[in-house]
Structure 1
């Protein structure tokens, strides 16, 4: 630890060759993916001119980014020496979400016409996704675990050298609560996903559960996307302020 964080008069020094980080683009892609899920559900219910190809391309782009970065972080553990928990917190959920988006992309590309031709497009898509509900539920419970760990162990706190986020460095519970709530709400949507599929229809009123899942993922998606975009500045600033 002493070799990684070396104190000096001007503040923290980090050997960045020992800690590759790319959770910036992961956060943006994850946020966009959550927004995508809301928009796809809305399109299946409301859009008369539903075109599966565009949705397939979007799911493929986001799924590739999350799968590639999540897989590397899950298998290689780039934070293993100093922050091994970050590999679990960021890597494994990103991998799971990325693979699910790739599966959605493949189905929409190959079988999108089946959904378009269905009398109830939303119900047709829900019937196809229903078996995946088991894994989505499991990941929702996993996100609850991550949220609890964030609170108990006060994870996610940024150092004082990081612009913006570092303002509350002396109060680690602030960022721990903020990030833990984000993970918990995404997990809530995932845990309710199998139930939401039962009331997902374009010919009948949506169930309250389906509406709740959509709103939760939309709001958390927007926050993750904006937070990830902000981190492109804050993480660059942290590197500039701490590099040797």
Structure 2
């Protein structure tokens, strides 16, 4: 999604006197990272319940959770996608790296929220819940597949151009400013995990379980946990970066 650190957007120098005009550098990929991470974890949790034949309690609760996260990601992702570049000091690739995946995931979560809210009772009563979900999600799974390929492209760009390296003025992450490939590898690796799960998703739907579904769950579960924790950490590191570069 998606979504981590202002590292790329703040790599405008490594000197101690680095100053950033934050009025031209809006940064809210903190909440984007947390929302995307929790969203991935919830998708995995719901899928696990369905695969185990358990009727999820209170589909309305799942719908509300997906709706809240989807609204956050759609609003922030849409703004970042359409404002070109969002960062007035340059770095338009941030719009692609963070904005577009967040927008895509946000809209998908909103669609899932609408479906669970309106069809949750029917889904709970269905004898073949997996089949019903597979038939419903089948067409949109092609878009999930396409965005998975896009995540691979983002990961490759991250490694090639070390887009995610933090400046030394950023607390914690800045301690590794002399090793730009380290953070690039970490964030690009998360995009690979999300992309792999997305590419496998349509095939897991067709299989209705088995090893492919497990692989999707592992990929999205690990990525979701990492994005959630890293996004939460960035609430401190981003504030510190702003204070240190005002």
| TM-score normalised per structure 1 | 0.92
Task: Name the residue aligned to 2:7.
Answer: none
- Matched residues in 2 for 1:89 and 1:64: separation? 19
Q: Deviations over 1:4-53 (max 9, x none)?
A: 99989853111101100100000000000110110110122332453211
For structure 2, the residue ranges without an aligned partner over 5 or more in a row are 1-9
Is residue 232 of structure 1 aligned with residue 235 of structure 2? yes
- What are the residue-to-residue correspondences of 1:52-71 with 2, within 5 Å? 52-71=59-78
For structure 1, the residue ranges without an aligned partner over 5 or more in a row are 201-205
The runs of at least 4 aligned residues of structure 1 exceeding 4 Å deviation read 4-10
Q: Deviations over 1:78-101 (max 9, x none)?
A: 125411101100000000000000
Q: 2:148, 2:198 within 8 Å by CA — same for their partners in 1?
A: yes
Q: Deviations over 1:109-165 (max 9, x none)?
A: 011112111112222112110100110000000000000000111110000000000
Task: Name the residue aligned to 1:153.
Answer: 161
Task: Name the residue aligned to 2:94.
Answer: 86
Q: 2:168, 2:175 within 8 Å by CA — same for their partners in 1?
A: yes
State the aligned residue count.
235
Name the SS of the counterpart of 2:171 in structure 1.
Answer: coil
- Matched residues in 2 for 1:7 and 1:186: separation? 30
- The one of 97, 105, 110 aligned to 1:102: 110
Note the aligned Cα RMSD (angstroms): 1.8
- The one of 173, 176, 191 aligned to 2:184: 176
The structure with the largest alpha-carbon Rg is: 1
